[in-house]
Structure 1
Amino acid sequence: MQQGNIVTADMLEQLKPGMNARQVAYVMGNPVVRNPFEQQRWDYLYTLEQRDKVIKNYTISVYFDAQGNYTHYTGTLPDQGFKEEDQLKTLPKEETSVNTVPTDI
């Protein structure tokens, strides 16, 4: 089961200091969870589980200055050679029905 935001290296490479929050959201999407006490930080969380075993888990935090402009991010993505589609193909069909078209219709 997938939960959270999928973040790719390409997305992170598109982030440039000085981008406003709308521009960051266009590149990264909106974070699933925003902390009202940390408005200058957006956390992108992602977990991929198969039968209660975590296959992939990461957090990327995006930071903004007081004017709401992007400054930097922290966190690392798992192995860059890893392809999300390949991992999803290994999951049982009932766990991959979210965001995929059934093949047995």
Structure 2
Amino acid sequence: MSLVYSTETGRITPEKEQAQRPKGDGIVRIQRETKGRKGKGVCIVTGLDLDDKALKLVAAALKKVCGCGGAVKNGTIEIQGDNRDKIKDYLVKQGHTVKFSGG
């Protein structure tokens, strides 16, 4: 239960909380996922400890490298199709440590 009103200060508005992204361990993980996508696979890139603007730039570069679409959602990059090898090659050239995760 949270405090809503105080006789000393009046109405108390809750402080806005920023969405906390989990801090990575320095390893970028690439996984392939088809669940909930009607059988269409996407590659999900997690572990990039970047702000939203930089993450969108990396996503745009990955989409160009792979020649397909994608999106940035909740601090992860989703690239359409099974392009794990192309994504790994690009990220290794950029100086990241990359691992495949999942099936």
Q: TM-score range by the shorter chain?
A: under 0.3
**More RCO (CA 8 Å, sep 6+):** 2
> What's the TM-score once normalised by structure 1's chain length?
0.28
Q: Computing the radius of gyration over CA atoms, which structure comes out larger, 1 or 2?
A: 2
> What's the TM-score once normalised by structure 2's chain length?
0.28
